[in-house]
Structure 1
Amino acid sequence: MTALRRRETLTSQLTRTLTGRIAQGMLKPGDKLPSEQELIGEFGVSRTVVREAISSLRAAGMVTTQQGVGAFVQADALTQPFRIDEANLDLLKEVISVLELRIALEAEACALAAQRRGEAHLEAMRVALDRMEAAIAASEDAVAPDLDFHRTIAEATGNAHFTHLFSYLGALMIPRTRLQTFRFFADDRTEYLRRVNREHEDIYQAILRRDSDAARSAMRLHLSNSRERLRKAMDQGAASPDRPNGAAITGE
């Protein structure tokens, strides 16, 4: 029997294992997946876990199912669009991994935005920053203007692929990264969020000056600071890598 670790949900682990077997060619297009009973016996999980894993594979377009027959690997199982399993984002470690992807994406987008931004982009960024500052002062949710600021930078690249990928990552990540890390690294919520917005201001000023190198560095520093706050929270026990932590605060 193949034991599954309990550092993430059993469904996610089984889904990952079966996906790996498909990617490695152990299960080829057209092949029938092992039966429910065979998977239960091999992995020591419940019927519910098996069914949820198969449903995840089906939703990802990797398998098709025939009632009363079983699940079969799709012919195009390995050519599916880029996708992040939302279930895994309940793990703080996975949230940090996706944030690292954002660092690579948004740092370069910021450099391009500094070269290509128009006046309308600058105005939209300024409005987002002012809205975030007002929300902070009023102790309101600052996530929406935060997301708008980052989205506008992606739009300012003039490259629709940056916009589409950021929209996907932003919609996926923002609700999952509203963690109460400010408790551990600032005297109060307001100071924490104002520090975040000061980092935004540095990014804006670099884009305003059309300084691509400074814009890239400011965005990398901003998101890297967010990553380090989350890492420190995890290391200090603020949140287990196996569980989501706390209530909504901010997008970063």
Structure 2
Amino acid sequence: MTQHFTPVSSGARLSDQVAEQLAAEIKQGRLQPGDKLPTEARLVEQFQVSRTVVREAVSRLKSLGLVDSRQGSGVFVNNQLPFAPLNFEAQLAASEEAVIQMVEVRRALEAEVAGLAAQRRNAADIRAITQAVKALDAAVQAGHNGVDEDMKFHRAIADAARNPFLIQTLEYLGQFLRGVTQVTRANEARRVDFAKQVQSEHQAILEAVQAGDAQLARQAAATHMGNAIVRIRCADPVFWQQEGERLAQPLVKGVKRHNS
């Protein structure tokens, strides 16, 4: 499979950002044990960084036990990774309850992430979060589902929290959370009042982080996720029959690929 990476920019150290994206590919199963990493030249091109940054990132992955160099062959994902993949497959189903349970997981994580972001954010972080909100609003205005933009909004807040363990946890869960986000956004798009609520909740999180109010940011993020659960419970059986299963399929497929 060909990997496509997002160019990195200001904020956290460039090498850390590159390492995090590569680690996410491994932890989410898109780079399997024994797979060869893209060449150094390819990584430089995709991430739009120097060779030094790429080498520092790969060195970090080596120190974590995720990859190993083979002289004359390149860098490969270790056959025995230093972590065991979580097995969500038995719990996952295209159902209201499964989606709600995953949103509950998000609520626990996102609230703390928002609180830390409020304490640690800088001007660049605020610009990134603000831009993510604008991009999400623009996507909705254009009639798109906004899933990618929604994920980027929450990732921008996570970056501002500056806790690599929280970021890596969210990256691992990303394979499941994306499917959940597809379901919640499809449900919210059915009603104008839902869409306006989501927009208002995102703005509240941004303003709390911008103000540096950790308690308010935690409350705003928790409220956003709690309201997402309320909105999901408002979805009628027809929605789950026609949309829920179809939208949740990538979530289940991602788990099967990861655990195979």
Fold-level similarity (TM above 0.5): yes
2:188 paired residue number = 182
* Deviation digits for residues 94-134 of structure 1 (CA, Å, limit 9, x no counterpart): 12111101101110111111001122211110111011111
Q: Is the 8 A contact 2:103 2:180 kept in 1?
A: no
Match of 1:224 among 202, 221, 226: 226
Q: Is the 8 A contact 2:95 2:245 kept in 1?
A: no
Query: Given the alignment of the two structures, is residue 215 of structure 1 paired with residue 217 of structure 2, yes or no?
Result: yes
Q: Is the 8 A contact 2:129 2:206 kept in 1?
A: yes
Which entry has the higher C-alpha Rg, 1 or 2?
1
* Deviation digits for residues 188-217 of structure 1 (CA, Å, limit 9, x no counterpart): 4xx533431221110000000000111000
Query: Given the alignment of the two structures, is residue 135 of structure 1 paired with residue 145 of structure 2, yes or no?
Result: no
Q: Quick one: distance in 1 between partners of 2:137 and 2:122?
A: 23
* Deviation digits for residues 44-94 of structure 1 (CA, Å, limit 9, x no counterpart): xxxxxxxxxxxxxxx9xxxxxxxxxxxxxxxxxxx8344422871423311
Q: Is the 8 A contact 2:126 2:210 kept in 1?
A: yes
Match of 1:160 among 161, 164, 187: 164
Structure 1 stretches (4+) deviating beyond 6 angstroms? none
Q: How many residues align?
A: 165
Match runs of 1:77-156 below 5 Å: 80-85=84-89, 88-156=92-160
1:173 paired residue number = 177
Match runs of 1:20-99 below 5 Å: 80-85=84-89, 88-99=92-103
2:244 paired residue number = 244
* Deviation digits for residues 197-238 of structure 1 (CA, Å, limit 9, x no counterpart): 2211100000000001110000000011111111232xx434
Q: Could you tell me which runs of 5 or more consecutive residues in structure 1 were left unpaired when the two chains were aligned.
A: 1-58, 60-78
Q: Is the 8 A contact 2:194 2:231 kept in 1?
A: no
Calculate the TM-score normalised by the size of structure 2: 0.56
Q: Is the 8 A contact 1:90 1:176 kept in 2?
A: no
Calculate the TM-score normalised by the size of structure 1: 0.58
Q: Is the 8 A contact 1:125 1:149 kept in 2?
A: yes
Q: Is the 8 A contact 2:117 2:158 kept in 1?
A: yes
C-alpha RMSD of the superposition: 2.9
* Percent of residue pairs identical: 30
1:72 paired residue number = none
Distance 1:95 1:209, change over 3 A: same
The offset of 1:177, in angstroms, is: 3.8
Distance 1:85 1:123, change over 3 A: same
